[in-house]
Amino acid sequence: MSETLAAGIEVEHAGEAAVIRMRAGENRFNPGNLDQLEAALEGIESAEGGPAPLVLTGEGKFFSNGLDLEWMSHAPEGEPERVLDRVHGLLARLLAFPSFTVAAINGHAFAAGGMLALACDQRVMRADRGYFCLPEVDLGLPFSEGMSALIQAKLPVRSAHEAMLTGRRYGGGEAEGAGIVDEAAPDDQVLGRALARASALAGRSPVAIAAIKSGMYERALERLRGEGGER
């Protein structure tokens, strides 16, 4: 059973897990895309009986290519900053989400799209095609404090250093070796393996999960929420 919130997002249930499938091409972050993602997370989080384990995935060649830079270049004054604030808030919400979360990285995960995957508890990535990349250094853009704290909280020190300072593109096997993803899998098994990982931790207390995550990622959450307008 699935529910289409809008053209770009589909929510479905597979066994004990909920799946948010991003279906808007490169799945770049702009106001419409963020509205849909936030609505999908709200629906899962507020479900009767508590939030189901969550799998987040894309479609085709892309998981997410991050900020919609084309939209931002033509947006009214102040809107790009508001979108960036909302992205920080989205990353914080997913990082502290009160159920177990897995990113099923079906294709390219670049910049804030890669950070969206890092905000999940685990990651399964397609082995044969697609890259994980933090290209900010090539774009001449510094990481915000919150994004930097998120990356450093989730990656081994050496891998965070390399990913952030060199903009290296990691294929699935390379990402697994660097500790960026937990598993690299064939294309037709990525979603299934992510669902198995998520479903294995169904039934845990949402209150306990949220509290544990808040303690583990206190520094990253404080910075992301501050930059996302939460006080």
Q: List domains and CATH numbers for the chain.
A: 2-227 (3.90.226.10)
How would residue 230 be classed by pLDDT, with cut points 50, 70 and 90?
Answer: low
Q: What does the buried/exposed string (b/e) look like for 81-111 if buried means 16 or more CB atoms within 10 Å of the residue's CB?
A: eebbebbbbbbbbbbbbbbbbbbbbbbbbbb
Question: What radius of gyration, in Å, describes the C-alpha atoms of the chain?
Answer: 16
Q: Which among 36, 39, 52, 42 has a CA at the least distance from the CA of 1? A: 52
User: Residue 180 pLDDT > 70, yes or no?
Assistant: yes
CA distances from 223 to 61, 67, 144, 227, 231 (A): 31, 19, 9, 6, 10
Average pLDDT, the chain: 94
Residue type, 226: G
20, β-bridge pairs:
11, 56
pTM exceeds cut of 0.75: yes
**Residue 229, pLDDT score:** 57
Q: What does the buried/exposed string (b/e) look like for 197-218 if buried means 16 or more CB atoms within 10 Å of the residue's CB?
A: bbbebeeeeeeebbeebeeebe
User: Residue 2 pLDDT > 70, yes or no?
Assistant: no
CB atoms within 10 A of CB 23: 17
User: Residue 106 pLDDT > 60, yes or no?
Assistant: yes
Spatial separation of the C-alpha atoms in residues 37 and 109, rounded to whole Å: 16
Task: Give the DSSP letter of residue 189.
Answer: G
How would residue 8 be classed by pLDDT, with cut points 50, 70 and 90?
Answer: confident
Please state whether beta strands 54-57 and 101-105 pair in parallel, antiparallel, or not at all (unpaired).
Answer: parallel
Per residue in 116-167, pLDDT tens? 999 999 999 999 999 999 999 999 999 999 999 999 999 999 999 999 999 9
**Residue 227, pLDDT score:** 82
